[in-house]
Amino acid sequence: MRVLGVDPGLTRCGIGVIDSVRSRRATLVEYGVLRSEPSDSVDQRLLVIATQLDEWLDRHVPDVVAVERVFAQHNHGTVMGTAQVAGIAMLAAARRTIPVALHTPSEVKAAVTGTGRAGKEQVQRMVKQILSLDHTPTPADAADALALAITHLWRPAGALQGGERSEQLTPAQRAWAAAEHAARR
């Protein structure tokens, strides 16, 4: 399975592509940041991000697109741009009939680190370790996009497919599954 993760942002939109491989592992395909100029009008900035995202989708042809679920922050201007870019990512995937999955920041942190309160540096270190990279993916937006893709690959429903048993999950995956189960109660 190929997963394209999107950490939406109007100035910097993190993007990362991973493939699943045997034994519940993931391998890096590519990561980066889509950028738009803050001095441009919002419509032009959205067009620039959409065009770049289309190029990534066409080049990598993912099986699913994992997008960070936007939540209300104190800075409403930031959340608006983030929500707009998340919508563009979902629309671009829908136009290609690619399924979209939304994951909250705390779900992503719990999936890759074992705790929903992990800091950016901890997420970056774990992404490096999980993908067996020689260096930490930067900027943080790109690492977050990779973490989103990993989260989708490791989601509890997918973690038990193909006859795999829950004992084969990593501690971070088990912690995330337990948190998901508790949240559903």
- How far is Cα 11 from Cα 173, in angstroms, rounded to an integer? 31
Looking at 30, 40, 58, 68, which residue is catalytic? 68
- Clarify whether 121 is annotated catalytic: no
Looking at 141, 144, 164, 167, which residue is catalytic? 141
- Clarify whether 107 is annotated catalytic: no
For residue 10, how far is the Cα from the chain centroid? 16
- How far is Cα 77 from Cα 122, in angstroms, rounded to an integer? 27
Under 8 Å between Cβ of 6 and 68: yes
SS3 47: helix
- Clarify whether 7 is annotated catalytic: yes
Looking at 7, 19, 40, 121, which residue is catalytic? 7
Q: What are phi and psi of 32, to 5 degrees?
A: 180, -165
- 50: closest CA among 104, 3, 94, 101? 94
- 99: closest CA among 140, 139, 155? 155
Sheet holding 64-68, edge to edge: 25-35, 12-21, 2-7, 64-68, 100-103
Residues marked as catalytic: 7, 68, 141
